[in-house]
Structure 1
Amino acid sequence: MTAPAIYSTRIRHTRIEPVRNSFDYTSYSWYVDVDALPRLPRWLGPFARFRAEDHLEPDPAAATDTLRSRVDAFLAGQGVDLCGGRVTALLNARVLGYVFNPLSVYWCHDADGSLRCVIAEVHNTYGQRHSYLIRPDGDDRAEVDKQFYVSPFNDVSGRYTMRFPEPGDTLSLNVVLHRDGHGPFTATVRGTRQPATSRTVLRTQLRTPLAPLVVSARIRIQGITLWARGLPVMARPDGRQKETVQ
């Protein structure tokens, strides 16, 4: 089993055109073994609750709905069987009943411990989610076609280049969206690992209180700012438009 950890993170978003804009913010993420989710003391419980329904889609055949059963169900749909291999995940927990996971990453290993594939799960600010199965090369890089509407300023065209090395003492994730005729949109996550002790959890809450709610609010504020600067809004696939953005 992988011991749970907390990464203090800095997330940065950069777009080149048609409006040049860059912003970053601090937050934190949990790094967990999906078969051994953290159990905190009761007095800390409201600040970190892990619920299967916050991630992926359920397996209708599973006797119990767990994060592991959801991972296995998604992989089975892609023709992948880990044969019980370890799955670690970087994600956000619920804080005072609220959770927002712009990006969750699952590192999926075979029974011998070798990395088989990675799941990148994306949530937008409209309450929708989508998961990509990626198969990194020897440099932890992979490419995948964009299939999910995340930002009202980018349609679903384009291709992602992703680099998701497994976290160690530090965390370094990179996502670049390439679209024909457009400059790239880049998102990075950098972090430093700390053991998930009660003291660390408390210190993290004091430093970045209500982090999921704050991140969601910051994303919406940035979207409104870009809209006010004249960045054109792309219709959602269902024809609706909104001014909020990731």
Structure 2
Amino acid sequence: MNSCLYVGEVQHVRHIPRRHLLRYRVAYFFLDLAEIPRLTTELRLFRVNRRGLFSWWENDHLDGRGPTAGRLLHFLDQHGIPAERVTRICLLTHARQWNYVFNPASFFYCFGSDDRLLVVVAEVNNTFGERYHYILPADSSPHDRDIVLATAPKLMHVSPFTSRDAGRYFFRIRYPSDRLTVAIRLAEGTQPVIDAVVWARRVPLSDGQLLRLALRHPWLTAKVTTAIHWEALRLYLKGIPFFHQPAPSEPQKAQASVWQKL
């Protein structure tokens, strides 16, 4: 089974105007979308489009209407990637726990006919209900097709402590195997502003592992939102400049394809 869990930690380092470090435990679900029917029959503690201890809802992603795989293929087709080139889709995301989730970022890994990584779609959400998508080509790395190296302009108000229209994202995403690494840098020119990195190890997606996860971290997804507001308070007390939310540059939950090879 390709679907699994990745358990590890996320680290954020703010470099300017003052250094600020945070580190939290995280658990991601890596879901092969073709295996969803199998997961619903084999797992008691994981449900799809239904409430449960852990659950995954298709309307938590993309435009929230219809089967996720079909909507993603349509989205890619609209942005110049023929749907017939994609043979398998896996999603790295937080699942709902006690029917609650907030996903700062999820990642769709799309594979071609040779089961090589074709493209990654990064789905970024903010706490204001806005959503933006970045299409990142797997051939952006000249040395390793299992590593995505791409850059894109920052186009959405993610944090009140960074300007919406300032800077670019730099993505470094390795195909998940026994270990998971996702690194995103926000930079203004040559000056790094924020570095965010996820490190995690693969564990089986089973009822036993889900029960263990729930016992160790009973409010893991709620902690994501709590941590965002706690760290915002810390930044405010440090005197970091505050930027009010601007009007969306495009309609909410806009779909976008903005990437450039490094």
- TM-score (structure 1 length as normaliser): 0.88
Give the whole-Å Cα distance in 1 for the aligned partners of 2:45 and 2:153. Answer: 44
CA–CA separation in structure 2 for the residues paired with 1:220 and 1:70: 32
1:163 aligns with 2:172: yes
Find the counterpart in structure 1 of residue 28 from structure 2. 29
Alignment of 1:55-134 (within 5 A): 55-58=61-64, 65-83=66-84, 84-134=86-136
- For residue 51 of structure 1, what is the aligned residue in structure 2? 57
Q: 1:145 corresponds to which residue?
A: 153
Q: CA deviation at 1:180?
A: 3.5
Q: Greater CA deviation, 29-38 or 158-167?
A: 29-38
Provide the identity percentage: 29
How much does 1:190 deviate? 0.3
> 1-side partners of 2:83 and 2:101: how far apart?
28
Pairing 1:163-202 to 2, within 5 Å after superposition: 163-180=172-189, 182-202=191-211
Letter in 1 for 2:136: I
Q: Which ranges of 4 or more aligned residues in structure 1 deviate by more than 3 Å?
A: 40-45, 180-183
Q: How far does the alpha carbon of each residue in 1:180-223 deviate from its partner, in whole angstroms, 9 at most, with x for none? A: 37543100000010010110111011111121111110111000
Residues 236, 189 of structure 1: alpha-carbon distance in 2 compared, 3 angstrom cutoff? same
**Cα deviation 1:101-153 (Å, max 9, x = unaligned):** 11101111122322221100111122221111111423421111111110111
Cα pair 2:185 2:192 within 8 Å, conserved: no
CA distance in 2, matches of 1:90, 1:148: 21
Q: Secondary structure at the match of 2:77?
A: helix
- Runs of 5+ in structure 1 lacking a partner? 60-64, 240-246
Aligned-partner Cα distance in 1 for 2:189–2:89: 35
Q: 2:5 touches 2:29 (CA, 8 Å); kept in 1?
A: yes
**Secondary structure of the structure 2 residue equivalent to 1:186:** strand
Determine if the alignment matches structure 1 residue 238 to structure 2 residue 240: no
- The answer to which structure has the higher strand fraction is 2
Alignment match of 1:225 (pick from 214, 230, 234): 234
CA gap of 1:19–1:30, structure 2 versus 1, over 3 A, is: same
Q: Distance in 1 between matches of 2:71 and 2:64?
A: 5
Q: Which 5+ residue runs of structure 2 have no aligned equivalent? A: 249-262
- AA at the equivalent of 1:165: R
Which has the higher mean CA deviation after the structures are superposed, 157-166 or 168-177? 157-166
TM-score by length of 2: 0.83
Q: Structure 1 stretch 198-207 or stretch 229-238: which is displaced more?
A: 229-238
What root-mean-square deviation, in Å, do the aligned CA atoms of Structure 1 and Structure 2 show? 1.8
Return closer, same or farther for 1:81/1:236 CA change in 2, 3 Å cut-off.
Answer: same
Q: Hey, what does 1:62 align to over in structure 2?
A: none
Residue aligning to 2:256 = none
Moved more, 181-190 or 89-98: 181-190
The residue type equivalent to 2:233 in the other structure is: I
Q: Secondary structure at the match of 1:36?
A: helix
> Structure 2 counterpart of 1:228, which letter?
L
What amino acid is the match of 2:112?
D
SS in structure 2 of the partner of residue 126 of structure 1: coil
Partner amino acid, structure 2, of 1:51? W
Give the number of aligned pairs.
233
